[in-house]
Amino acid sequence: MELDLGPEAARFRQETRDWIAANAPDGLAELVDWNTPPMTAGDHSAHARAQASPVHTEWEVRLLADRMICPQWPERFGGRGWTLVQNAIFSEECALAGVPRVRRGFGEGMVGPSVMAHGTPEQQQHFLPRIISAEDVYCQGFSEPDHGSDVGAISTRGVVEGDEIVISGQKVWTSGFARANMIFVLCRTDPAAPKHRGISYVLLPMKDNNIVARPLRQLTGGAEFGEEFFDGARAPLFHVIGGLNNGWRVAMTTLGHERGGNATVAHLKYQRQFAALVELARAAGRDRDPVVRQQLAWAHTHVEIMRFQGLRLLAQLAEGREPGPEASIAKLFWSEYERRVGEIAVELLGPDALVRPDGEGYPLSRWQEVFLASRAGTIYSGTSEIQRNIIAERALGLPREPRPAEAKGVPA
Ligand SMILES: Cc1cc2nc3c(=O)[nH]c(=O)nc-3n(C[C@H](O)[C@H](O)[C@H](O)COP(=O)(O)OP(=O)(O)OC[C@H]3O[C@@H](n4cnc5c(N)ncnc54)[C@H](O)[C@@H]3O)c2cc1C
């Protein structure tokens, strides 16, 4: 089933397809399987090598020249003002052509929208172009050793000294910290204020700024994320977005900015993964085993549900409706699905799953990586339990979970 989004969307799709065909440099699609991102069955080094290639650089230059990086941003902020549907069509066409959609990570999806919503015109003028050009690459400094799901409980301190803010404390599980030159940090600037007030949102330079950043090694052997110790890290007050003690509102914009840009392509990588799973069952001589066939049927059904979920979200966006708790449903669904697929794959591999391939460092086979990396999927961007709470309370209208303070009779 495909979705008819009307003649305007069809025209846009054709234009986009033509643009990609005219501008994608030869050899780009062959560099690596761009539809299988690292973290989920991807080879980190293969992706890194492909991104460093001159062919990829040329693609990036062409995208930049035609404002096809952050194209969903309004024109006055350097984008093309694309609607969510146009944005989704572009992602889909890139995926179908096998070329990468070049994104600016946390800067594009989180910092940019927050600066647009809460920054002053001067802040917008300063920070937004630097995200598009990749002069500023951000990582997210919300989680702390004792405060993950409960972001509002952060204890990193920010003290105003003259026209600067001085930050001390610790952040942890910071994805992409090694690539970033900027970290967006939540810090407590008024400890006397109630929990969600007295927090500020700061865009903090990371280099030569009294910050010790250390990698944290993961189950997969990679060290994609890290921890940072701030001992008087400084930023001009100009880097505080939304005003002092008003960071909670900005953080909510940041966290709420997971929209439907990828909805219609999310299932594509799972379709490929499913085909590989069937191959694995064949290679193991288990494809006639009724239990294995049932597991494969389960996986296929789930991939199809993800495809339909994507189409539903796209139809919703085409009608001009914003996605609500659907984002939580989708996140819960794909993350739990991927964990189960990893388990099915290692069951199929049997004892072989316990043996890593030969090679330098810590090489993993494709399925070992899916099995190990997928554990993280049900934790980051809101754990499965938190997603279930959101679905229960906001989608199903069930009574709110009692908060600890309420249980003691104290208002939350
Ligand atoms: C791969 C990866 C990348 C990450 N990247 C970043 C990053 O870039 N920046 C960043 O700031 N953070 C990042 N995180 C951290 C992530 O946001 C937190 O791990 C997550 O929010 C959970 O917090 P926690 O680990 O402190 O667990 P806790 O919040 O302590 O939760 C522990 C357990 O209790 C459950 N729980 C907590 N509260 C409730 C509740 N109200 N109801 C029911 N159950 C509950 C949780 O579901 C979980 O099972 C990353 C994590 C991972 C795994």
| Mean pLDDT of all residues in 391-396 | 92
Report the nearest atom of ligand 1 relative to the CA of 379: 53
Q: What is the distance in A from the centroid of ligand 1 to the CA of 378? A: 9
| Least confident stretch, 221-235, 256-270, 349-363 | 256-270
| 90 pocket-lining for ligand 1 (C-beta < 6 Å) | no
Of the residues 258, 304, 336, 347, only one is catalytic, namely 258
CB of residue 106 inside a 6 A radius of ligand 1: no
**What's this model's pTM, rounded to 2 decimal places?**
0.91
What is the pLDDT at residue 190? 97
Q: Is 110 in the pocket of ligand 1 (CB under 6 A)?
A: no
Active-site residue, 360 included = no
Percent pLDDT > 70 in the chain is 92
Query: Ligand 1 in contact with 143 (CB < 6 A)?
Result: yes
Provide mean pLDDT across the span 315-321. 78
pLDDT at 47: 83
Q: Which residues pair with 174 in a beta bridge?
A: 226
Expressed in angstroms and rounded, the spacing between residue 151 Cα and the centre of ligand 1 is 9
Q: What is the mean pLDDT of residues 122-136?
A: 98
Ligand 1: nearest atom to the Cα of 145: 26
pLDDT of 139: 97
The answer to whether the CB of 215 is under 6 A from ligand 1 is no
Q: 227 CA distance to ligand 1 centroid (A)?
A: 14
Mean pLDDT for the stretch of residues 76-88: 92
The pLDDT of residue 233 is above 90: yes
173 lines ligand 1 (CB under 6 A): yes
pLDDT tens, residue by residue, 9-47: 899 999 999 999 999 999 999 998 887 655 444 456 778
Mean pLDDT of the chain: 90
More confident: 200 or 39? 200
Span 48-59, average pLDDT: 93
Q: Which atom of ligand 1 is nearest to the CA of 389?
A: 42
Residue 134: Cβ-neighbour burial (10 angstroms; 0-12, 13-18, 19+): middle
Ligand 1: distance of its center to the CA of 150 in Å?
8
Residues 339-370 have pLDDT tens digits of: 999 999 999 999 999 999 998 888 889 899 99
Complete domains list, the chain, with CATH: 7-103 (1.10.540), 135-250 (2.40.110.10), 260-395 (1.20.140.10)
Per the CB < 8 A criterion, the answer to whether 211 and 226 are in contact is no
* Per-residue pLDDT reduced to its tens digit, 103-124: 999 999 999 999 999 999 999 9
User: Does the C-beta of 383 come closer than 6 Å to ligand 1?
Assistant: yes
Predicted pLDDT of residue 411 = 33
Query: What local confidence, expressed as pLDDT, does residue 361 receive?
Result: 82
pLDDT top residue among 364 and 408: 364
